[in-house]
Structure 1
């Protein structure tokens, strides 16, 4: 197994983009050796057992909490790594990463592991659908920016409030649809509301666990989209920690594989 690489980074700046989205720009000498991270790549932010940011590489046997976030932008020339955080309320009850994102100040230090790469859109397609909640907004934004200019399709994003809308850079043929307080079934329902274009789509979706299952079922039952054209995943589960969610996600994937095989 490849040894995990750690990078010590400092907060360069912090900005509240919308009421429920915080942007942190990280920097540091370690970024010089940080691998190139394509759109949709992810990192692990390290916190100690008390939920405080881990400032140095963890020691053997030390209990570490890791939280996964999308690389919104990596600028090696400027020596910056940008990460956007969906905020889950106030205080420590919001979780270590959300709480840290709201309280972090320039100069604060945190250890980062990664990057890892996530599956993107199926390479062969006639049009695309990108959909997710605010936890997926950074990944969707990065993918939209990387799409060829002639791409057609939809970006459907569920947000907490009207004020969480933000400008997105996308090809002219992509219709951006904002769903405000759509609930767990809203993203799946949106697939029934849009006009499906001719040809074979590529679908990429990331959201809460129950929404993920609803989207997957809708694609299978209502549209019979080939599995090779679909990537649907959950980034979190209501009422569960990231470690618990990983277990749920693994069990669900096993059950689903057995069901469709």
Structure 2
């Protein structure tokens, strides 16, 4: 899960071939499956999903939740949809959150999304996704804003760009677990490296079909703070890797961090990390500043920020 505010062009039209990189897909909930105490798999279905692009890896898309006052009646569809949405009265604004595609089945018109079920203690801690998920039922209507397979150019929303043969270090917390699982299952069989996934408890360790030479380590927080298990494990693994050293390092003072080069670089080692922003900043400083990983050889993404509403 990320916090970007991209404004792709959207359109309700799905029958014409006036294709755009992203489209609105009206869908319903076909199935809800509790995978673990923390993860819920939601299967969305609809005939237009035959055109939902299956790009693999960490493909992002947006879930759009009905507004409390008017459902999807006021949802804008122009090129400036996001700014137009935020200009509406709060009760008429659809909730928007970004997720990772877990699976696409175009022939069946289905898309799977693994959502995190957080235990928010107050209504203020609940974002639109959590409020929707608490009461979600088969048949519920929702909108997906995702990549259109009929578009010939790049869709964007992909940040995993590891070069062939590079040693991999992949890490994240529960919000990145679906993306990491999708990445691992899309890697070539020759891939090698380690993946660390920090989750609330041991029961959240899910089965993932990773290449034989990619070790997958699930780290249970068991009540500890975010990053308590992830930071030392990833730091130790990074220190054992052979980075092409660089002296270049840009301090990032932004509230959120999103450093994800879009080109495939010539790297012997590649790092992909997504988690709570403070955790990502700590690991970025260690791996980029202290250990010298070149900027083009790693993606560091703050999927969420401690203190903000749970998605």
When normalised by structure 1's length, the TM-score is: 0.83
CA RMSD of aligned residues (A): 2.5
Cα shift readout 1:14-54 (whole Å, capped 9, x = no counterpart): 0110001111000012213333333211111112454x894
Aligned pairs for 1:17-28 within 5 A: 17-28=35-46
Unaligned runs of 5+ in 1: 244-261
CA spacing shift, 1:179–1:188, aligned 2, 3 Å: same
Aligned pairs for 1:52-131 within 5 A: 54-55=71-72, 58-59=75-76, 61=88, 62-89=92-119, 92=123, 93-115=125-147, 116-131=156-171
Determine helix, strand or coil for the equivalent of 1:18: coil
Q: Hey, what does 2:55 align to over in structure 1?
A: 37
Question: In the alignment, which of 275, 280, 285 is matched to residue 212 of structure 1?
Answer: 280
Q: Hey, what does 1:258 align to over in structure 2?
A: none
Q: Hey, what does 2:175 align to over in structure 1?
A: 135
Q: Does structure 2 conserve the Cα–Cα contact (< 8 Å) formed by 1:158 and 1:178?
A: yes
The answer to whether residue 240 in structure 2 is matched with residue 196 in structure 1 is yes
User: How far did 1:86 drift?
Assistant: 1.0
Which is strand-richer, 1 or 2?
Answer: 1
When normalised by structure 2's length, the TM-score is: 0.71
User: How far did 1:150 drift?
Assistant: 1.4
The answer to whether residue 230 in structure 2 is matched with residue 187 in structure 1 is yes
Determine helix, strand or coil for the equivalent of 1:89: coil
Q: Does structure 2 conserve the Cα–Cα contact (< 8 Å) formed by 1:46 and 1:54?
A: no
**Length, aligned pairs only:** 242
Q: Distance in 1 between matches of 2:28 and 2:65?
A: 14
Determine helix, strand or coil for the equivalent of 1:105: coil
User: How far did 1:151 drift?
Assistant: 1.1
* Structure 1: 4+ residue segments shifted above 4 A: 52-57, 59-62, 90-93
Which is helix-richer, 1 or 2?
Answer: 1
Cα shift readout 1:166-186 (whole Å, capped 9, x = no counterpart): 111100101111111163343
